[in-house]
Each structure stands twice: as structure tokens, then as C-alpha cells.
Amino acid sequence: MPDQSNLAHHKQYDVVVVGAGLSGLQTAVKIHAAGFSVVVLEAMDRVGGKTLSVQSSSQGEGINDLGAAWINDSSQSEIYKLFLKAGLKPEKQLAQGNTLRQVEDGSYISVPFGQIFADEEEAEAFGTVFGALQKTTDASNLEDPISGPDAKRLDSLTFSEYCHELFDSPLTPIIANYLARALLGVEGDEVSALFLINYFKSGTGINNLISDGPDGGQYLRANKGTQTISKYLASQLDPESVHLNNVIKSISQSSTGVEVVTAANHTFKAKHVVVSIPSALYPTISFSPELPPSKTILAEGTAIGAYGKIIYVWSTPWWRDAGLSGIFEAPLSGYVSFTKETSVPADNQWSITCFIAGDPARELSKYAQKVRRQKVWEQFTLAFEGSGVLKGTKVPEPIQVHEIAWKRNQYADGAPTSVMGPGF
């Protein structure tokens, strides 16, 4: 792909696409297929946006995803078509073995797979809140959220406030943060109740969003990583049409067309421009004329979640040998909210991914890498060793550790998406 020294910025295009993530690349592919000229400008040094796949370890050809990792073949049929076209094979998420669940004193106990509560009190709280949220989700309007039942009131409340209305208990903020962190990388008091209800609706319901089974949000992974889809889309374009390391400084529109100017003062001219970046990043670009007031308010009123991963890779799946799923849930304390096994047995790739989101992710990011990794490893070993399921044995040292904090990437500014607070 071209670098700054080989930019065809003198050419007039039909369309300039800003952003080489999945949506930007798919847009460019469709424009190209329709017979129009298109150029894609990407600030990062790679395509893929928040799809980022890396070699698991030096011991094999396995891949780990530092960004988006899961899909399914039912409610996500369009991306699944691209998944297959890119030559990927689906890896079903492990859905067996016991889960480790944090309890009130910070220790961990072993519970059956799929159980997200630790005792009867938590079971009542989770069941009541989840049931009420699903009822509200079922009644909501997916296409026009603000026209749904009680929508304006829901939009005036934070998700935490709404959960308190549903079930007033000391456990309620724990449940609200558990969901908001896992799904959006924010705290329950940072997101509008209506926004998260609409998010549930878009994912075909709260239970499907958090499920590892068929139709679930975590049902399938890509054996060679989801960035393969992004690279496949880029390969469908002309070789000279994707330009990396191009930070956009300004976009100007006039009666004669559009001019897109990069930070290096390269100008790309086109009839149209498609901006395919999160709305929260719009303020990083100078628009002329200015964006409509409603769009400006949207951009300034949304924020991207704090989300990160630390992935541990081993040469053998020691947790499976202990009858474990590789999952621990830590909604009460610690930096890691939860873990998932992310192995690909056919590639002899054995790994567990730690998910760090919301306030814990922001707090952890204050430390140097060595300290960050030490703190996460302490929590990880506490869960697996302290629960007693390993019967006194130690968690083996990993052969490789991968880490990403999406807030540290200035061109992503977080993950997974832009989030609206109350009133938007």
C-alpha cells in the first residue's frame, strides 16, 4: 500500500473514504464495484481499525485478536459472508467446563458454566434486572429509538439509575457496571439507559449479546483473526487506492466538490467524501462548512469506551485439564472484568484473554507496562490458584503475553464504539 512518498494526491476521485476499518473498506469496495474511482485514507499504519490480529507466539502459526474477535453466523450474516470469502474458518467458543466467580471477599469460587451469579441473592438480583431489561428491550423501537415506549424518560436516565428503578439493591450498581463495562467499556453512570437498551435490541437481546452459544455474540471466532477480513476487503481495491499514515486535518466542501487535506498537507479532491470514523473523533477534523448543529452536538456529546486486553499464551491448555472453561468473572474488584478462552486447537494455539474495561482500564493505564502486567497477573493467578480448583498447583508461566489498551491509540481513542450519555 502506498506511503506518503507515493501519493496520487493530484488525481480527482469520485469518492474519498476516510477510515480503513471494516465499514470504510466495505464502503470503498462497493463504490469500486459500481465503477467509480475511490481512494481510502487511513491515519494508522495498517488497515483494519479495531480489528487487529497478531501472531500468537513464535512456536506456531496461531493468531490472537487484540481487537474485535467474535461473530456469529445468524444475526451477523453479512459479516459472516465476508468471513467466508476471506477464507476464514469458524472456531466455536468453548462452552464447557466450570467458571470461576468472584465473591464478596474478593476470592473466587467454581460455578457451573454459564452461571454469572455467586449465590441466591445475586441470582435474584441478576434475574430480576435482566428480565426487566429484556422486557424493555422487546418493547423498544430499533429503527427510531426515541419513539419507543417511555423512550424520552429512558434517555434522561443513566443506565445505573434505570437499573436502580428495576431493582433497588446494593448489587444493582454491580450489575449495571458489569454490563456497561463488558459491552461498551464504560461505567453504568456514563451511558444513557435508552442507548444501552437500543444496543441490546441491535444485538437481538441482552441474553444473546452475552451468550457463547448459537446466536450469541461470542459464538464464533476467526481461526486466523478478524483483521483477515479487513485485509481481504483492501485486496478487492486497486493497489494504489488505500493510503496509510494519512491523518486528516480538514475537509472542505464547495460547489465544485470536496477537498480532503492531510496533516502532511497533501490534498485529495473528489466529488464526494465518506467519513467512516467514530462520531466522537469528528472534532479532530476541521470541517468547512461546519457540520450541522445536530451532528456537532452528537460528536461532542459522545465518547468512546476504555477497553483493553491482556492475552496469555501457553503451549498446553492446563485449565481444560482442570475441568475449567478458562472464564473468570470479577464484577466486584480488580482490573480484569472477565476472561475468555481464545484458543484455536487446530493451530496448537492455547490462550486466555483478560478483558479490562471502564474505570479499571483507565486506572490501570496510569502505570508503566511492567506494573500493569504484574497487577493483572496477580489477579489472574489469584482467581485460578486461590479458587482451589488447581489443587495446590501453580498457574504456569505463559510463553507469550500480548497487551493492548485502545485508549492509548490516538486514532482509535478507545473501543468498542461511541457511547451516548443521557439526553442525546
**Has 43 been labeled as part of a binding site?**
yes
Close Cβ partners of 42 (under 8 Å, ≥ 6 residues apart): 19, 20, 24, 242, 243, 244, 245, 246
- Could you tell me the pLDDT band of residue 5, with boundaries at 50, 70 and 90? very low
Stretch(es) of the chain classified as CATH 1.10.405.10: 119-209
Please tell me the class of the 119-209 domain. mainly alpha
Cell of 115: 452461571
**286 marked among binding-site residues:** no
Q: What is the pLDDT of residues 295-312, one digit of tens each?
A: 999 999 999 999 999 999
**pLDDT tier at 63 (50, 70, 90 boundaries)?**
very high
Q: How far apart are CA 322 and CA 167, in angstroms?
A: 37
Q: Per the annotation, does 355 bind a ligand?
A: yes
pLDDT at 265 over 50: yes
pLDDT at 117: 85
| Between 50 and 59, the higher pLDDT residue | 50
- Name, in order, each residue with C-beta under 8 angstroms of 312's C-beta and a sequence gap of 6 or more: 351, 352, 353, 354, 380, 398, 400, 401
Predicted confidence (pLDDT) per residue in 201-224, tens digit: 999 999 999 999 999 999 999 999
Q: Is the pLDDT of residue 103 over 70?
A: yes
Please state the rounded mean pLDDT for residues 36-46: 98
Q: Where in the chain do CATH 3.50.50.60 domains reside?
A: 4-50+228-303
User: What is the predicted pLDDT for the residue at 8?
Assistant: 55
Average confidence (pLDDT) over 47-59: 97
Q: Count each helix (H run) and each strand (E run) in the chain, helices first.
A: 13, 21
CATH architecture of 4-50+228-303: 3-Layer(bba) Sandwich (3.50)
Q: Is the pLDDT of residue 250 over 60?
A: yes
- pLDDT above 80 (res 424): no
If you write DSSP's letter for every residue of 233-293 in order, what string do you get?
HHHTS-TTSEE-S--EEEEEEETTEEEEEETT--EEEEEEEEE-S-GGGGGGSEEESPPPH
Tens of pLDDT, residue by residue over 77-101, are 999 999 999 999 999 999 999 999 9
pLDDT score recorded for residue 4: 44
> Helices 172-184 and 193-202: crossing angle, nearest 10°?
60
* pTM of structure: 0.95
